[in-house]
Protein backbone atom coordinates (compact mmCIF):
# COMPACT_ATOMS: atom_id res chain seq x y z
CA UNK A 1 0.00 0.00 0.00
CA UNK A 2 1.39 3.39 -0.99
CA UNK A 3 0.33 7.01 -0.61
CA UNK A 4 0.04 7.17 -4.39
CA UNK A 5 -2.52 4.35 -4.37
CA UNK A 6 -4.45 6.13 -1.63
CA UNK A 7 -4.50 9.33 -3.71
CA UNK A 8 -5.82 7.35 -6.67
CA UNK A 9 -8.74 5.78 -4.80
CA UNK A 10 -9.68 9.14 -3.27
CA UNK A 11 -9.67 10.68 -6.75
CA UNK A 12 -11.78 7.86 -8.21
CA UNK A 13 -14.29 8.16 -5.37
CA UNK A 14 -14.52 11.90 -5.93
CA UNK A 15 -14.76 11.83 -9.72
CA UNK A 16 -16.81 8.60 -10.02
CA UNK A 17 -14.85 7.96 -13.21
CA UNK A 18 -11.43 6.37 -13.80
CA UNK A 19 -10.62 8.58 -16.79
CA UNK A 20 -11.35 11.86 -15.01
CA UNK A 21 -9.57 10.63 -11.89
CA UNK A 22 -6.49 9.83 -13.97
CA UNK A 23 -6.53 13.34 -15.44
CA UNK A 24 -6.73 14.87 -11.96
CA UNK A 25 -3.76 12.77 -10.87
CA UNK A 26 -1.80 13.56 -14.06
CA UNK A 27 -1.35 9.89 -15.00
CA UNK A 28 -2.73 7.65 -17.72
CA UNK A 29 -5.95 5.75 -17.05
CA UNK A 30 -4.26 2.33 -17.34
CA UNK A 31 -1.67 3.37 -14.75
CA UNK A 32 -4.36 4.46 -12.31
CA UNK A 33 -6.55 1.41 -12.95
CA UNK A 34 -3.66 -1.00 -12.36
CA UNK A 35 -2.75 0.75 -9.10
CA UNK A 36 -6.33 0.67 -7.80
CA UNK A 37 -6.68 -3.02 -8.70
CA UNK A 38 -3.39 -3.75 -6.96
CA UNK A 39 -4.65 -2.09 -3.77
CA UNK A 40 -7.93 -4.00 -3.94
CA UNK A 41 -6.03 -7.27 -4.33
CA UNK A 42 -3.83 -6.39 -1.35
CA UNK A 43 -6.84 -5.61 0.82
CA UNK A 44 -8.86 -8.51 -0.50
CA UNK A 45 -11.98 -6.40 -1.04
CA UNK A 46 -13.61 -4.52 -3.90
CA UNK A 47 -13.53 -0.77 -3.36
CA UNK A 48 -15.47 0.17 -6.48
CA UNK A 49 -18.20 -1.27 -8.68
CA UNK A 50 -17.38 -0.70 -12.34
CA UNK A 51 -20.49 0.03 -14.40
CA UNK A 52 -20.61 1.09 -18.01
CA UNK A 53 -21.68 4.63 -17.23
CA UNK A 54 -20.30 5.36 -13.78
CA UNK A 55 -18.08 4.04 -11.03
CA UNK A 56 -19.70 3.63 -7.62
CA UNK A 57 -17.99 3.15 -4.28
CA UNK A 58 -18.87 0.01 -2.34
CA UNK A 59 -20.00 0.45 1.30
CA UNK A 60 -16.70 -0.96 2.54
CA UNK A 61 -14.85 1.06 -0.08
CA UNK A 62 -16.41 4.26 1.27
CA UNK A 63 -14.91 3.54 4.69
CA UNK A 64 -11.51 2.80 3.17
CA UNK A 65 -11.61 5.98 1.08
CA UNK A 66 -12.57 8.02 4.15
CA UNK A 67 -9.61 6.63 6.06
CA UNK A 68 -7.34 7.18 3.06
CA UNK A 69 -8.37 10.84 2.99
CA UNK A 70 -7.42 11.20 6.65
CA UNK A 71 -4.05 9.57 6.01
CA UNK A 72 -3.35 11.97 3.14
CA UNK A 73 -4.33 14.96 5.28
CA UNK A 74 -2.07 13.84 8.11
CA UNK A 75 0.74 13.29 5.63
CA UNK A 76 0.31 16.85 4.40
CA UNK A 77 0.37 18.06 8.01
CA UNK A 78 3.69 16.28 8.59
CA UNK A 79 5.16 18.04 5.57
CA UNK A 80 3.88 21.39 6.85
CA UNK A 81 5.48 20.78 10.24
CA UNK A 82 8.78 19.90 8.62
CA UNK A 83 8.60 22.93 6.34
CA UNK A 84 7.79 25.27 9.21
CA UNK A 85 10.66 23.82 11.21
CA UNK A 86 13.07 25.04 8.56
CA UNK A 87 11.91 28.60 9.24
CA UNK A 88 11.57 29.17 12.99
CA UNK A 89 10.21 32.66 12.39
CA UNK A 90 7.19 31.20 10.60
CA UNK A 91 5.97 29.06 13.50
CA UNK A 92 3.42 30.42 16.02
CA UNK A 93 4.75 32.14 19.13
CA UNK A 94 2.50 31.55 22.15
CA UNK A 95 2.92 34.31 24.71
CA UNK A 96 1.25 34.64 28.08
CA UNK A 97 1.27 37.66 30.38
CA UNK A 98 -0.20 38.55 33.74
CA UNK A 99 -3.33 40.70 33.70
CA UNK A 100 -1.51 43.81 34.92
CA UNK A 101 0.99 43.67 32.04
CA UNK A 102 -0.83 42.20 29.03
CA UNK A 103 -3.19 45.08 28.14
CA UNK A 104 -0.31 47.55 28.03
CA UNK A 105 2.54 45.41 26.68
CA UNK A 106 0.73 43.44 23.97
CA UNK A 107 -0.19 46.51 21.86
CA UNK A 108 3.55 47.32 21.70
CA UNK A 109 4.66 43.72 21.23
CA UNK A 110 2.38 42.89 18.29
CA UNK A 111 3.67 45.50 15.78
CA UNK A 112 7.28 44.87 16.86
CA UNK A 113 6.98 41.13 16.18
CA UNK A 114 5.10 41.71 12.92
CA UNK A 115 7.93 43.95 11.73
CA UNK A 116 10.73 41.59 12.80
CA UNK A 117 8.99 38.34 11.81
CA UNK A 118 5.99 39.05 9.53
CA UNK A 119 5.30 35.33 8.97
CA UNK A 120 5.14 34.50 12.68
CA UNK A 121 1.59 34.15 14.08
CA UNK A 122 1.21 35.51 17.63
CA UNK A 123 -1.07 33.65 20.06
CA UNK A 124 -1.61 35.80 23.15
CA UNK A 125 -3.33 35.19 26.45
CA UNK A 126 -3.59 36.78 29.89
CA UNK A 127 -3.80 34.91 33.19
CA UNK A 128 -2.62 34.79 36.78
CA UNK A 129 1.03 34.11 37.61
CA UNK A 130 0.40 30.62 39.00
CA UNK A 131 -1.67 29.60 35.99
CA UNK A 132 0.85 30.97 33.49
CA UNK A 133 3.65 29.06 35.19
CA UNK A 134 1.64 25.85 34.91
CA UNK A 135 0.88 26.50 31.22
CA UNK A 136 4.57 27.09 30.52
CA UNK A 137 5.66 23.88 32.23
CA UNK A 138 2.95 21.96 30.37
CA UNK A 139 4.19 23.29 27.02
CA UNK A 140 0.94 25.13 26.29
CA UNK A 141 2.76 28.47 25.91
CA UNK A 142 6.29 29.24 24.74
CA UNK A 143 7.08 32.20 26.97
CA UNK A 144 5.36 34.09 29.77
CA UNK A 145 5.82 37.63 31.03
CA UNK A 146 5.57 37.81 34.80
CA UNK A 147 6.55 40.07 37.64
CA UNK A 148 9.86 39.16 39.29
CA UNK A 149 10.98 37.64 41.55
CA UNK A 150 9.49 34.33 40.43
CA UNK A 151 10.97 31.16 41.86
CA UNK A 152 10.36 27.80 40.19
CA UNK A 153 13.06 25.19 39.72
CA UNK A 154 11.63 24.20 36.34
CA UNK A 155 11.49 27.70 34.84
CA UNK A 156 14.33 30.00 33.77
CA UNK A 157 13.67 33.73 34.17
CA UNK A 158 15.29 36.71 32.48
CA UNK A 159 14.69 40.33 33.47
CA UNK A 160 13.26 42.42 30.62
CA UNK A 161 12.76 45.86 32.13
CA UNK A 162 12.22 47.75 35.38
CA UNK A 163 8.91 49.53 35.84
CA UNK A 164 8.22 52.13 38.52
CA UNK A 165 4.95 52.35 40.42
CA UNK A 166 2.72 55.41 40.12
CA UNK A 167 0.32 56.57 42.81
CA UNK A 168 -3.07 57.48 41.33
CA UNK A 169 -5.08 60.10 43.21
CA UNK A 170 -8.58 61.53 42.88
CA UNK A 171 -8.86 65.11 41.66
CA UNK A 172 -8.00 67.83 44.21
CA UNK A 173 -6.29 65.37 46.53
CA UNK A 174 -3.93 66.93 49.07
CA UNK A 175 -0.99 65.09 47.49
CA UNK A 176 -1.69 66.32 43.99
CA UNK A 177 1.25 68.73 43.98
CA UNK A 178 3.74 66.14 45.29
CA UNK A 179 6.37 64.86 42.86
CA UNK A 180 6.92 61.70 44.90
CA UNK A 181 5.20 59.88 47.73
CA UNK A 182 6.97 57.73 50.30
CA UNK A 183 5.77 54.16 50.59
CA UNK A 184 4.98 54.52 54.27
CA UNK A 185 2.60 57.38 53.48
CA UNK A 186 0.29 55.12 51.49
CA UNK A 187 -1.14 53.48 54.61
CA UNK A 188 -2.50 56.85 55.70
CA UNK A 189 -5.05 56.62 52.90
CA UNK A 190 -7.68 54.14 51.81
CA UNK A 191 -5.64 51.97 49.44
CA UNK A 192 -7.53 50.21 46.65
CA UNK A 193 -5.85 47.04 45.39
CA UNK A 194 -6.60 44.03 43.22
CA UNK A 195 -7.94 40.86 44.81
CA UNK A 196 -5.82 38.44 46.83
CA UNK A 197 -3.64 36.21 44.68
CA UNK A 198 -2.67 38.95 42.27
CA UNK A 199 1.11 39.40 42.22
CA UNK A 200 0.88 43.16 41.70
CA UNK A 201 -1.20 43.49 44.86
CA UNK A 202 1.44 41.52 46.74
CA UNK A 203 4.18 43.78 45.41
CA UNK A 204 2.38 46.92 46.50
CA UNK A 205 1.78 45.49 49.95
CA UNK A 206 5.46 44.59 50.26
CA UNK A 207 6.54 48.02 49.04
CA UNK A 208 4.25 49.79 51.46
CA UNK A 209 6.46 49.21 54.49
CA UNK A 210 3.82 50.12 57.05
CA UNK A 211 0.79 48.73 55.24
CA UNK A 212 0.83 45.53 57.26
CA UNK A 213 0.61 47.55 60.48
CA UNK A 214 -2.13 49.84 59.25
CA UNK A 215 -5.71 49.56 60.39
CA UNK A 216 -7.73 47.13 58.30
CA UNK A 217 -10.16 49.91 57.45
CA UNK A 218 -7.35 51.68 55.60
CA UNK A 219 -6.36 48.73 53.42
CA UNK A 220 -9.25 48.20 51.06
CA UNK A 221 -9.48 45.33 48.59
CA UNK A 222 -11.43 45.75 45.39
CA UNK A 223 -13.95 43.10 44.47
CA UNK A 224 -12.25 39.84 43.58
CA UNK A 225 -11.43 39.74 39.90
CA UNK A 226 -11.57 43.53 39.54
CA UNK A 227 -9.36 45.05 36.88
CA UNK A 228 -6.98 47.97 37.16
CA UNK A 229 -9.45 50.01 35.12
CA UNK A 230 -12.22 49.32 37.66
CA UNK A 231 -9.98 50.41 40.52
CA UNK A 232 -8.99 53.53 38.58
CA UNK A 233 -12.65 54.48 38.21
CA UNK A 234 -13.14 53.95 41.95
CA UNK A 235 -10.27 56.37 42.57
CA UNK A 236 -11.88 58.90 40.24
CA UNK A 237 -15.05 58.59 42.32
CA UNK A 238 -13.12 59.50 45.45
CA UNK A 239 -13.28 56.09 47.13
CA UNK A 240 -9.53 56.00 47.78
CA UNK A 241 -6.13 55.96 46.10
CA UNK A 242 -4.27 53.22 44.27
CA UNK A 243 -0.89 52.28 42.86
CA UNK A 244 -0.49 51.33 39.20
CA UNK A 245 2.37 50.10 37.04
CA UNK A 246 3.83 53.01 35.10
CA UNK A 247 2.63 51.63 31.75
CA UNK A 248 -0.94 51.42 33.02
CA UNK A 249 -0.85 54.98 34.33
CA UNK A 250 0.72 56.32 31.13
CA UNK A 251 -1.77 54.45 28.94
CA UNK A 252 -4.61 56.11 30.77
CA UNK A 253 -3.00 59.55 30.51
CA UNK A 254 -2.44 59.23 26.75
CA UNK A 255 -6.03 58.10 26.13
CA UNK A 256 -7.59 60.88 28.20
152 domain residue, yes or no: no
pLDDT tens track, the chain, 256 positions: 999 999 999 999 999 999 999 999 999 999 999 999 999 999 999 999 988 778 999 999 999 999 999 999 999 888 877 876 677 777 888 999 988 888 888 998 899 989 988 988 899 999 888 899 999 988 899 999 998 888 887 888 898 888 888 888 888 888 888 888 877 777 777 788 877 767 777 777 777 655 455 444 455 444 344 677 888 888 888 888 888 888 877 765 554 4
Q: Which residues partner with 220 through β-bridges?
A: 192
- CA–CA separation, 200 and 186 (whole Å): 15
Q: Please, are residues 192 and 239 in contact by the beta-carbon 8 Å criterion?
A: yes
Q: CA of 50: how far to CAs of 6, 11, 55, 61, 227, in Å? A: 18, 15, 5, 13, 68
Q: What span, in angstroms and rounded, lies between the C-alpha atoms of 185 and 122? A: 42
How does 33-54 read in b/e, with b if 16+ C-beta sit within 10 Å?
bebbeebbeeeeeebbeeeeee
Residue 219 located in a structural domain: yes
Residue ranges with strand state E in the chain: 48-50, 55-57, 93-98, 122-127, 143-145, 165-168, 191-193, 219-221, 241-245
CATH of the domain at 51: 1.10.10.10
Residue 207, domain member (yes or no): yes
CA-to-CA distance for 129 and 73, rounded, in angstroms?
A: 38
Residues 247 and 203 in one domain: yes
Q: Give me the phi and psi of 152, to 5 degrees please.
A: -155, 120
Is 156 part of a structural domain of the chain? no
- For residue 157, is it within any domain? no
Query: Are 215 and 170 in the same domain?
Result: yes
Query: From CA 159, how far away is CA 134, in angstroms rounded?
Result: 20
Amino acid sequence: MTLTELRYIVAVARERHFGRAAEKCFVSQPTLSVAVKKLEDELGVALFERNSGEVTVTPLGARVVEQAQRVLEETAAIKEIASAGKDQLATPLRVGAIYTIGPYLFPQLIPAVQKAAPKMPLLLQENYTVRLGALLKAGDVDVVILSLPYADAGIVTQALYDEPFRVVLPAKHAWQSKKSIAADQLCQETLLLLGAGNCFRDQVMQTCARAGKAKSSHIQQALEGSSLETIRQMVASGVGITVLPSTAAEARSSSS
